[in-house]
Each structure stands twice: as C-alpha cells, then as structure tokens.
Amino acid sequence: MKTMTCRQFGGPCDVAHTGKTADNVINAQDKHLKEAVKAGDETHVPAREEMKGRWRKPWAALGWYRDMKKTFAELPEDGAVNA
C-alpha cells in the first residue's frame, strides 16, 4: 500500500489517498474532488475541472497519467523505513 495526497495530484489540500495501485489512488482523488466540489469547497474547483478534462480526453492526458503512475511507483510502501 502506498499513499499520495490531493496536493501531489495538483489539488489544494493534504487529504491522503491510500491504495495498492496508482489507479486506486487516482480514482480516490477523482472521488475526493467530486465530493469536495459538491460540498461547496471552491478551492477544489480548479483541480476538479482539470481532472474532468483528463477523463474526457484520455489520449491527451496520457502524459499526466504516466507521471502519476511513475510518482506512485517511486513511493515507498506505507510503513517502510527509509534508510
């Protein structure tokens, strides 16, 4: 399991998303953005709009997706001790 924050995805806060795969945390971020905006959190609107744009244009967003997968892959496992 690895953890990425909303801020690591380009969002405005430090809400943590934990998952076994990059896709798990990307989907958790998407859900977080939807819920935050629906609750009236204006600070999440720009990140939500960017995420919606990526889902609408998957080929154009492939670079972002690859970057997030690489970032996730480079993270230590949760609970791992960095030497």
Please check whether residue 83 lies inside any domain of the structure.
no
Please check whether residue 28 lies inside any domain of the structure.
yes
Please check whether residue 79 lies inside any domain of the structure.
no
> Does residue 58 or residue 30 have the better pLDDT?
30
**pTM tops 0.75:** yes
Does the structure show a pLDDT above 70 at 82? no
14 lies in which domain range? 2-74
pLDDT value at position 1?
Answer: 96
Please check whether residue 80 lies inside any domain of the structure.
no
Please check whether residue 14 lies inside any domain of the structure.
yes
Does the structure show a pLDDT above 70 at 79? no
CA-CA distances (angstroms) from residue 77 to 9, 17, 23, 46? Answer: 18, 13, 16, 30
Please check whether residue 7 lies inside any domain of the structure.
yes
Does the structure show a pLDDT above 60 at 81? no
Please check whether residue 17 lies inside any domain of the structure.
yes
pLDDT value at position 10?
Answer: 92
**Structural domain count of the chain:** 1
